């Protein structure tokens, strides 16, 4: 029984090796991704890295070109580095990419009429809920009548008596 | 045969869920304990039937029964047993069955909860039965995992190799337990709105009943999300752990709503206030869960995690979501204005603090919702395509949460009804001073110096120290004799320890996230054997690369050493695995744990080095304090468990009040 299973194992290994080989051929047939060569100037390279995080790999699911192993991501990284080396500003590089690929290419959407709700929505929600809570708190009438002056005085008396340094206001 | 039994059990479970809904509703209307009891029995039987179906599916996967279409599409004889079993919930049909299992399981637990009043419990059982019936109908009629295949293939198509990982085998069960656990909160909220109790004593009791379910679901969800993040961290090989990806967001929204519910239900329980708001959050948490299921399963979003996607079924899920959430929120809009307010409180009070917490958590959830759905809505409305990614959330979510976290440590110090703010400030002064000092230390300790990261370190320290200060205050640490402190520590309710741990765990997470994000160092270069690469202070050398054979894959395994001046040199292995069954390649990251830091090594494709020698492209990240990112949520979940244990004791002991100081 051992021999056939070993044969099967060998066959499987061979098949897998063939697969690996085929995969590497498939990769080889695509244009090879340009190797990542960091810019010599550390400050420029830092700018490039920051841009990579904001630029979407246009053929991937939800990946920045900083993360993506796809060939086009490597090309885009090289493009960004070349542009930085050529002395262009971050804004110019972004604008170029948007002209070519549309707003889709940036992970930070532009602030324009169509995206006001997106950008300011969170803060509007915050203020809205806060205002609603405030209005609600104001509208509510106290459930018991306020204390009379006499009762207030008596309350103060009791509190003064009970001033115990150990007494914690909360119980949990 | 077993497969047929499973298919039958699934249909039976659906019929039982329908029966459960009908009998519970009739039992409630006629006030008949017999009918209600029968509905409870049906709930239990329905859960058992789904469990039988689930077991049958697992059996089909374990024995590689390729006559079942789902098994043929997602399994393979070469797969290790763990992943054969895990594949049972790796597909759309299987994960829906898991969803139904958790839903009916929680339903059975709800039906056995003896401490609830008759009306509320029976109504909740009816709602839970209706949810079960809807999802089981979906499973039976459009996503039946037991469909047969003819002719039977000799071999299966195997599971996506990215999913063949221990973290991901356990991630869906935890995540689903969290998602679907909120269904009980949803049912209890709908039941409370239907019952419409106007008496003031009802809502504190409701808060106490809903809280354990919310807490348990939140703990499961916390662990599920953390496992998922950890999986993304070491399996995708990109060095990141959270990408603000739509599918991640889908799990984060119910988490935020659940966290808000945990806090608001305390106010409802203690003071009878915020009843409407707590009900709203209970409805919202499960609505977000269903929305998440729809977003993930329908494929309307592009995501790195979108596995098992089908637009047709997405429409069905959307219909279920629309009907249940629509009806529930309509009921809410009708009944909420009639809810009675409960106790009054000053703005500066424990209640006020918890309201502030809720304000920020809901705004944060709304931000995540906007960021996730906006591209969809905009494209549908105008045809314009945009991407919403990490930079958007860094500008919206992060500042919102930062403000919330700055205020957080003061919360537990506030007294109910009306608090003395100056006293709170005095008691937190030491913690605040220390946190400020640590921020300054952080500013000097890390290169390059970043002011925001230093402030983030201070914030994480502030959360931890603030939480500890509160406990220290309560047990009068260093201010009373040690025996007295010990006595007080023992007397402290478990819920108090739970809160301290959860808040401190959040601080631990913040520290990890801030430092890892701010000071991560990356290096990548093709290396020939014997060459090395520098990432910060770490030197990574490629020792050798060989071909190894796994159970169902073949891998190039690189052995690399990680060296640091003045430290031990350690060896890590990083692999590129090729799965012949699906023709896919995955990376196995080599992780060297160095204290709180990770040195993260990825072996890439073969390629020539700049010198022309044959080599492999190697990417190395130095992720400082990355351990804390995953340790933090674990501490938070532990805090939740402690708090849950306390609740159970208190519930068991009836209405016994917590020990007063």
DSSP state of A115: G
pLDDT at B661: 30
Residue B649 to residue B661: CA distance in whole angstroms: 19
Name the residue facing B549 among A13, A23, A119 (closest C-beta): A13
As annotated, the residues of chain B forming the CATH 2.60.98 domain(s) are: 521-623
Q: Is B537 helix (H, G, I), strand (E, B) or coil?
A: coil
More confident residue, A144 or B144: B144
Give me B455's structure tokens.
Answer: 């402030």
**Mean pLDDT along residues B128-141:** 94
Tokens of B315: 């429409």
Residue A25 predicted with pLDDT over 50: no
* pLDDT classification of B23: cutoffs 50, 70, 90: very high
3 state SS of B433: helix
Quote the minimal CA–CA distance from A168 to chain B in Å.
6
What digits encode the pLDDT tens for the residues B386-397? 889 899 999 999
Residue A139 lies in a domain: no
Q: How far apart are CA B349 and CA B261, in angstroms?
A: 18
A19 touches chain B (CB under 8 A): yes
- Find the residue in B nearest to A16 (Cα): B580
The pair of structure tokens assigned to B341 is 């307010």
Quick one: pLDDT at residue B174? Answer: 94
CB B57 within 8 A of CB B88: yes
The answer to whether residue A91 is domain-embedded is: yes
Instruction: Name every chain B residue with its beta carbon within 8 A of the beta carbon of A166.
Output: 661
CB contacts under 8 A, B 543-562 vs A, are 547, 549, 553-554
% of chain B with per-residue pLDDT over 70: 95
Query: CB of A117 within 8 Å of any CB in chain B?
Result: yes
A6-15, A38-47, A125-134, B592-601: which has the highest mean pLDDT?
B592-601
| Cβ contact, residue pair A118, B370, below 8 Å | yes
**Quick check: is A169 in a domain?**
no
Distant-in-sequence, close-in-space partners of B206: CB < 8 Å, separation ≥ 6? B120, B188, B192, B268, B275, B278
Q: B18-22, B120-124, B408-412, B483-487 — which is least confidently predicted? A: B483-487
Model pLDDT for residues B249-261, shown as the tens digit of each residue: 999 999 999 999 9
Residues B293-326: tens digit of each pLDDT: 888 877 666 555 555 556 677 788 889 999 999 9
Whether pLDDT at B411 is above 60 = yes
Higher pLDDT, A135 or B122: B122
Interface mutation target, options A122, A125, A137, chain B, most CBs of B under 10 Å: A122
Checking if the pLDDT of A167 tops 80, the result is no
Determine the Cα–Cα distance for residues B631 and B626; give it in Å rounded to an integer: 9
**B-chain residues near A14 (CB < 8 A):** none
Contacts of B420 in chain A (CB under 8 A): 169
Residues 6 or more apart whose CB falls under 8 angstroms from that of A104 comprise: A56, A58, B385, B386, B387
Can you give the residue range of the structural domain that contains A89?
34-133
Q: Is A50 on the interface with B (CB under 8 A)?
A: no
User: Is the Cβ of B389 closer than 8 Å to some Cβ of chain A?
Assistant: yes
- Looking at residue A140, its pLDDT comes to 58
Answer for the pair B557, B589: CB distance below 8 angstroms, yes or no: no
For residue B5, give Cα distances in angstroms to B17, B65, B146, B284. 18, 14, 10, 37
Residue to mutate among A13, A107, A143, A166, with most B CBs inside 10 A, is A107
- Cβ neighbours of residue B483 closer than 8 Å, sequence gap 6 or more: none
Asked if A31 reaches chain B (Cβ–Cβ under 8 Å), the answer is no
* Contact yes or no for B391 and A53 at CB 8 A: yes
pLDDT mean over B95-115: 92
Query: Which whole-number Å values give the CA distances from B523 to B223, B492, B599, B616, in the listed order?
Result: 31, 49, 11, 14
From B362, B366, B526, residue closest to A35, measured CB to CB: B526
Give the model's pLDDT for residue B315. 81
**HSE (side-chain half, CA atoms, 13 Å) at B389:** 24
Q: Which of A115, A140, A172 sits opposite B496 (nearest CB)?
A: A172
Instruction: Look over chain B and give the mean of its residue pLDDT values, rounded to a whole number.
Output: 88
User: For A141, which residue in chain B has the nearest alpha carbon?
Assistant: B344
Chain A, window 78-97: residues with a beta carbon less than 8 angstroms from a chain B beta carbon: none
Min Cα separation A65/chain B (Å): 11
**Is residue B482 predicted with pLDDT exceeding 90?**
no
Q: How far apart are the first and last CA of chain B?
A: 63
Residue A78 burial by Cβ neighbours in a 10 Å radius (0-12, 13-18, 19+): middle
Measured between CA atoms, how close is A141 to chain B, in angstroms?
A: 9
Residue A147 Rama label (left phi>0; alpha psi -120 to 50; beta): beta
Give the pLDDT band of residue B116 (cuts 50, 70, 90). Answer: confident
Contact B391 A107 (CB under 8 A): yes
Structure tokens at A101: 């690929």
Band of pLDDT at residue B465, cut at 50, 70 and 90: very high
Q: Chain B contacts of A62, Cβ < 8 Å?
A: 243, 245-246, 302-304, 389
pLDDT at A170: 44
A115 touches B: beta carbon within 8 Å: yes
Determine the pLDDT at residue B218.
Answer: 96
Q: Is domain B521-623 in CATH 1.10.286, yes or no? A: no
Which chain A residues are closer than 8 Å to B246 by Cβ? 62
* Sheet strand arrangement including B538-549: B532-535, B538-549, B554-563, B570-579, B584-588
Whether B578 and A24 lie within 8 Å, measured CB to CB: no
**B360–A126 C-beta distance less than 8 A:** yes
Which of B321, B248, B324 shows the shortest CA–CA distance to B291?
A: B321
Mean pLDDT of the region A51-69: 83
Using the predicted structure, report yes or no on whether residue B512 has a pLDDT greater than 80: yes
Nearest CA in chain A to B356: A130
CA distance A120 to B321: 27
Contact residues, chain B, for A140 at CB < 8 Å: 341, 344
Check whether B37 has a pLDDT greater than 50.
yes
* Residue range B58-89, pLDDT digits in tens: 999 999 889 888 888 888 888 888 888 988 88
B256 within 8 A of B364, measured Cβ to Cβ: yes
| Whole-number average pLDDT of chain A | 74
Q: Do B341 and A17 touch (CB under 8 A)?
A: no
Residues of chain A with Cβ-Cβ distance to B661 below 8 Å are: 166-168, 171
> What band does B651 get if pLDDT is binned at 50, 70 and 90?
very low
Tell me how far apart the alpha carbons of residues A152 and A149 are, in angstroms, rounded to a whole number. Answer: 5
Residue B484 CA to residue B473 CA, distance in Å, equals: 13
B272 φ/ψ angles, rounded to the nearest 5 degrees: 70, 5
Residue range A55-68: mean pLDDT, rounded: 82
Partners of B539 in beta bridges = B534, B563
- ipTM over 0.90? The verdict is no
Contacts of A41 (CB under 8 A, 6+ apart): none
H-assigned helices in B272-384: 275-298, 311-335, 350-382
Residue B656: count of CB within 10 angstroms of its CB: 10
Min Cα–Cα distance to chain A from B389, Å: 4
B234 — pLDDT class (breaks 50, 70, 90):
confident
Rounded to a whole number, what is the largest CA-CA distance in chain B?
86
Interval A103-147: pLDDT, tens: 889 998 888 888 899 999 999 999 998 888 777 766 655 555 567
Confidence of residue B240 (pLDDT cuts 50, 70, 90): confident
A122 touches chain B (CB under 8 A): yes
Q: How far is A86 from chain B (nearest CA, A)?
A: 23
Task: Give the pLDDT of residue A9.
Answer: 55
Whether residue A42 lies within 8 A of chain B, CB to CB, comes out as no
B627 against B169, higher pLDDT: B627
CATH number of the domain where residue A75 is located: 1.10.8.640
Say if A161 is an interface residue toward chain B (CB within 8 Å). Answer: no
Q: Does the pLDDT value for residue B654 go beyond 50?
A: no
Strand partners, B522: B621
pLDDT at B377: 86
SS3 state of residue B265: helix
Greater confidence (B403 vs B113) lies with: B403
pLDDT at B652: 37
Residue B240 DSSP symbol? -
| Residue where the block lists tokens 């997106």 | A118
Q: Is residue A63 part of a domain?
A: yes
d(CA B131, CA B113): 18
pLDDT at B298: 73
The SS3 assignment for B414 reads coil
The answer to whether B95 and B173 have CB atoms below 8 angstroms apart is no
- How confident is the model over B559-610, as pLDDT tens digits? 999 999 988 899 999 998 888 877 788 888 999 998 899 999 999 888 888 7
Tokens found for residue B178: 């969290």
User: How many other C-beta atoms lie within 10 A of the C-beta of residue A163?
Assistant: 7
**Minimal Cβ distance to B384: which of A20, A24, A114:** A114
How far is A145 from A152, CA to CA, in rounded Å? 12
Structure token pair of residue A34: 């340009």
Predicted local distance difference test score (pLDDT) of residue A17: 53
Taking the CA of residue A75 and the nearest CA in chain B, the distance in Å comes to 16
With an 8 Å Cβ cutoff, is A146 touching chain B?
Answer: no
Shortest distance, CA A115 to any CA of chain B (angstroms): 8
Chain B 393-422, CB below 8 Å of chain A: which residues? 395-397, 400, 414-416, 419-420
Could you give the CA distance from residue B130 to residue B323 in angstroms, rounded to a whole number?
11
User: What is the pLDDT averaged over residues B475-484?
Assistant: 83
Chain B: closest CA distance from residue A102 (Å): 8
The phi-psi region of residue A111 (left if phi > 0; otherwise alpha if psi is between -120 and 50; otherwise beta) is: beta
Strands in B102-189 per DSSP E: none
What was the pLDDT predicted at A153? Answer: 81
Predicted local confidence at residue A171, as pLDDT = 43
Domains contained in chain A, number: 1
In-domain check, residue A149:
no
Task: Give me B651's structure tokens.
Answer: 């519930």
What distance in Å separates the CA atoms of residue A54 and residue A76, rounded to the nearest whole number? 12
Contacts of residues B166-169 at CB distance under 8 Å and 24 or more positions apart, as own/partner, are B166/B82, B167/B227, B167/B228, B167/B230, B167/B231, B167/B234, B167/B235, B168/B86, B168/B227, B168/B228, B168/B231, B168/B235, B169/B82, B169/B83, B169/B85, B169/B86
- Report pLDDT for B311: 66
Residue B624 sits at φ, ψ, to 5 deg, of: -65, 140
- Which runs of consecutive H residues, i.e. helices, occur in chain A? 2-29, 42-54, 71-85, 90-101, 116-139, 149-161
Chain A residues with beta carbon closer than 8 angstroms to that of B243: 62-63, 67
Residues recorded for chain B = 661
Out of A65-74, B196-205, B226-235, B309-318, the most confident range is B226-235
pLDDT category, B143, cuts 50, 70, 90? confident
State the SS3 of B434-493.
Answer: HHHHHHHHHHHHCCCCCHHHHHHHHHHHHHHHHHHHHHHHHCCCCCCCHHHHHHHHHHCC
Cβ burial, residue B338 (10 Å; 0-12/13-18/19+) = exposed
DSSP at B106: H
CB B99 within 8 A of CB B224: no
Q: What angle do CA B451, B453, B458 make, to 5 degrees?
A: 95
As a whole number of angstroms, the distance between CA A4 and CA A12 comes to: 12
Contact A16 B553 (CB under 8 A): yes
Asked if the structure places residue A159 within a domain, the reply is no
Task: Identify whether the C-beta of residue B178 lies closer than 8 Å to the C-beta of residue B292.
Answer: no
Tell me the two tokens of residue B36. 């209600």
């Amino acid at each position: 029984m051992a021999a056939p299973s070993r044969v099967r194992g060998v066959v499987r290994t061979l098949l897998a090796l063939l697969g690996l080989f085929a995969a590497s051929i498939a990769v080889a047939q695509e244009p090879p991704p340009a190797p990542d060569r960091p810019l010599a100037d550390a400050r420029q390279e830092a700018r490039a890295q920051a841009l990579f995080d904001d630029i979407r790999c246009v053929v991937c699911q939800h990946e920045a070109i900083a993360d993506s192993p796809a060939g086009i991501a490597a090309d885009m990284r090289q493009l960004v580095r070349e542009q930085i080396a050529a002395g262009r500003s971050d804004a110019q590089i972004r604008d170029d990419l948007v002209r070519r690929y549309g707003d889709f290419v940036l992970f930070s959407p532009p602030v324009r009429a169509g995206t006001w709700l997106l950008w300011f929505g969170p803060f509007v929600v915050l203020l809205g809920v806060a205002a609603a809570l405030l209005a609600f708190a104001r509208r509510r009438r106290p459930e018991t009548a306020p204390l009379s002056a006499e009762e207030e005085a008596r309350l103060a008396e009791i509190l003064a008596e009970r001033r115990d340094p150990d007494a914690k206001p909360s119980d949990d | 045969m077993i497969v047929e039994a499973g298919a039958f059990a699934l249909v039976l479970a659906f019929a039982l869920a329908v029966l459960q809904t009908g009998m519970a509703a009739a039992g409630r209307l006629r006030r008949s304990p017999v009918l209600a009891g029968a509905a409870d029995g049906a709930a239990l039987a329905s859960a058992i039937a789904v469990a039988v179906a689930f077991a049958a599916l697992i059996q089909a996967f374990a024995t590689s029964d390729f006559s079942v279409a789902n098994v043929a599409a997602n399994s393979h004889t070469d797969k290790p047993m763990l992943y054969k079993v895990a594949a049972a919930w790796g597909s759309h049909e299987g994960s829906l069955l898991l969803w139904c299992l958790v839903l009916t399981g929680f339903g059975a637990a709800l039906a056995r909860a003896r401490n609830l009043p008759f009306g509320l419990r029976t109504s909740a059982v009816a709602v839970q039965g209706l949810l079960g019936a809807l999802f089981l109908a979906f499973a039976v009629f459009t996503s039946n995992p037991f469909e047969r295949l003819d002719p039977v293939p000799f071999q299966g198509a195997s599971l996506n190799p990215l999913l063949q990982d221990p973290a991901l085998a356990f991630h869906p069960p935890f995540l689903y337990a969290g998602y679907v656990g909120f269904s009980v909160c949803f049912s209890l909220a709908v039941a409370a709105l239907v019952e419409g109790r106007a008496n003031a004593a009802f809502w504190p009791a409701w808060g106490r009943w809903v809280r354990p379910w919310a807490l348990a679901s939140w703990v499961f969800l916390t662990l599920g999300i953390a496992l998922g993040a950890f999986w993304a961290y070491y399996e995708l090989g990109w060095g990141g752990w959270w990408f603000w990806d739509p599918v991640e967001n889908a799990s984060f929204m119910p988490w935020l709503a659940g966290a808000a519910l945990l806090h608001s239900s305390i106010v409802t329980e203690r003071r009878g206030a915020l009843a409407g708001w707590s009900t709203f959050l209970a409805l919202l948490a499960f609505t977000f869960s269903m929305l998440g299921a729809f977003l993930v399963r329908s494929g309307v979003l592009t995501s790195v995690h979108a596995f098992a996607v089908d637009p047709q079924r997405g429409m069905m899920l959307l219909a279920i979501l629309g009907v249940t959430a629509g009806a529930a929120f309509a009921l809410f809009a009708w009944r909420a204005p009639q809810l009675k307010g409960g106790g009054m409180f000053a703005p500066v009070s424990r209640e006020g603090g918890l309201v502030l917490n809720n304000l920020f958590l809901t705004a944060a959830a709304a931000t995540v919702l906007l960021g996730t759905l906006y591209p969809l809505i905009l494209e549908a409305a105008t045809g314009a395509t945009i991407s919403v990614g990490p930079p958007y959330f860094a500008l919206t979510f992060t500042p919102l949460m930062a403000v919330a976290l700055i205020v957080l440590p003061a919360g537990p110090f506030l007294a109910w009804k009306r608090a003395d703010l100056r006293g709170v400030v005095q008691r937190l002064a030491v913690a605040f001073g220390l946190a400020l000092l640590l921020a300054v230390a952080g500013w000097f300790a890390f290169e390059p110096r970043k002011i925001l990261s230093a402030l983030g370190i201070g914030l994480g320290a502030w959360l931890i120290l603030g939480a500890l200060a509160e406990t220290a205050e309560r047990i009068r640490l260093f201010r009373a004799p040690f025996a007295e402190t010990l006595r007080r520590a023992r007397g402290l309710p478990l819920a108090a320890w739970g809160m301290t741990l959860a808040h401190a765990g959040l601080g631990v997470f913040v520290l990890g996230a801030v430092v890892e994000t701010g000071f991560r160092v990356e290096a990548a270069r093709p290396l020939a054997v014997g060459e090395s690469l520098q990432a910060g202070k770490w030197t990574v050398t490629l020792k050798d690369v060989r071909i190894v054979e796994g159970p169902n894959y073949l891998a190039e395994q690189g052995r690399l050493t990680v060296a640091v001046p003045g430290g031990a040199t350690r060896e890590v292995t990083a692999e590129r695995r090729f799965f012949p069954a699906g023709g896919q390649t995955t990376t196995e990251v080599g992780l060297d744990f160095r204290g709180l830091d990770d040195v993260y090594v990825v072996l890439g494709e073969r390629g020539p080095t700049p010198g022309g020698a044959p080599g492999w492209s190697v990417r190395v990240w130095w992720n400082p304090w990355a351990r804390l990112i995953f340790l933090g949520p674990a501490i938070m979940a532990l805090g939740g468990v402690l708090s849950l244990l306390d609740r159970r004791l208190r519930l068991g002991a009836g209405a016994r009040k917590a020990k007063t100081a």
